[in-house]
Amino acid sequence: MNKTKKNKQVTPLKAIDFFCGGGGMTYGLRKAGIQVIAGIDYDNDCKETYLANNPDSVFIHSDINTLKCCDLEKTLNIKKNDNNMIFVGCSPCQYYSIIRSDKTKSAVSKDLLLQFNKFVEYFKPGYILVENVPGIISNKDSVLPEFFKFLDNTGYKSKEWRIVNMMYHGIPQSRKRFSLIATRIHEAISLPKEEKKIITVRDVLGEENGFAKIKAGNIDKTDFFHTTANLSELNLKRLKRTPKNGGTRLAWKDEPELQLKCYINKNDCFRDVYGRLSWDKPSSTITTHFYKTSNGRFSHPEENRALSIREGATLQTFPKTYKFKTSSLIKAAKIIGNAVPPKYAHKLGLVIVEHKT
């Protein structure tokens, strides 16, 4: 028995991270001992960040809609029907977001999961990982039913999917996501088990965790990137009037100078906007706009500013040594907000490693 297990471990698990972004999933899988051969993404702004933190992986700048399976086969020298191969398909999810917004621009990406299918069908990897927003289940235009049917017809009948809240997986953030793991290898496979301990904002942020007190508009040119967006005089007044440790905009709803016209007599909608994080709770979902006080509960629990780039990255479980290779606060926030939390990716990787051994 031991000999069999030892032999199984000789051939390492490999992965290709489609829609890799800045490398959150890649980093987590690599930490689990999986060799991530390549990351593929259409957004070239991610390239330097991806490579700086995942130097053993190749970054392929390509549109999955036009990328050919045979070209990928030659470029990466990968084989079909490889039981040790993992394909990751965490496609852009703005179209399926429950946030009310114009979906015209994001509509071009709603079928990317089906484009991912052509690579699965051609190569038939041993394992598949998918992460997306919960709205992909409920949206009337969702491609998910078609994707499930494809998996069954292609031999991936051992699978589990559900809506996962990352706060139950060691991520200090309430972040609900559709998560799927599938394999064509016959043994049943399951998503990572939930943890009892909840990690809070206090556990990872604040001076005791290496985050110096700073003001809005702080510029940090080091790799730590403790940079914050500036605030208008009016928004600074609003934040100063917002109670520390979890306060909301309702504290100044009756002050004409501070109240926004769109929220007059609308105290029950978008209550997180202009809100502060609470020290002893997980943060709200880190989006691509977490650097703005006006886009959600993204204000520091005590300091009069929004979250810094490094704070947002930390709430996403990127290590403090992770380098975001851009001088643009907006581009860095996009990379961070779109990422799969590396700690959850690590747990997914360990599930597959244990399944193989």
Q: What is the DSSP string of 2-27?
A: HHHHHHHHHS--EEEEET-TTSHHHH
pLDDT computed for residue 274 by the predictor:
94
* CB 195 within 8 Å of CB 169: yes
Which residue matches tokens 């994080």? 277
Write the pLDDT tens digit of every residue in 104-147.
454 455 688 989 999 999 999 999 999 999 988 877 778 899 99
Predicted TM-score of the model (pTM): 0.92
pLDDT computed for residue 1 by the predictor:
43
- Write the DSSP string, 322-334: -----S-HHHHHH
Strand residues in 19-67 grouped as ranges (E): 35-41, 58-61
Write the pLDDT tens digit of every residue in 179-220.
999 999 978 999 999 999 999 999 999 999 999 999 999 999
Strand residues in the chain grouped as ranges (E): 14-18, 35-41, 58-61, 85-89, 127-132, 158-165, 176-183
How far does Cα 209 stand from its chain's mean position? 22
Q: Amino acid identity, residue 313?
A: A
What lies within 8 Å, CB to CB, of 112 at 6+ separation is 19, 64, 65, 91, 92
Catalytic member of 46, 70, 93, 262: 93
pLDDT computed for residue 149 by the predictor:
94
The CATH label, of 3.40.50.150, 3.20.10.10, 3.60.40.10, 3.40.50.300, for the domain at 2-195+340-356 is 3.40.50.150
Q: Which two tokens stand for residue 234?
A: 């009016």
pLDDT computed for residue 9 by the predictor:
45
Between CA 238 and CA 230 the distance in angstroms is 14
* CB 12 within 8 Å of CB 36: no
pLDDT computed for residue 307 by the predictor:
98
pLDDT computed for residue 30 by the predictor:
98
What lies within 8 Å, CB to CB, of 61 at 6+ separation is 41, 42, 44, 47
Residues of the chain with pLDDT under 70: 1-11, 93-110
Pairing of strands 85-89, 127-132: parallel
What lies within 8 Å, CB to CB, of 254 at 6+ separation is none
Ranges of each domain in the chain: 2-195+340-356
Phi and psi at 318, nearest 5°, equal -70, 135
Q: Does the active-site annotation cover 93?
A: yes
* CB 144 within 8 Å of CB 91: no
- Write the DSSP string, 336-350: HHHSPPHHHHHHHHH
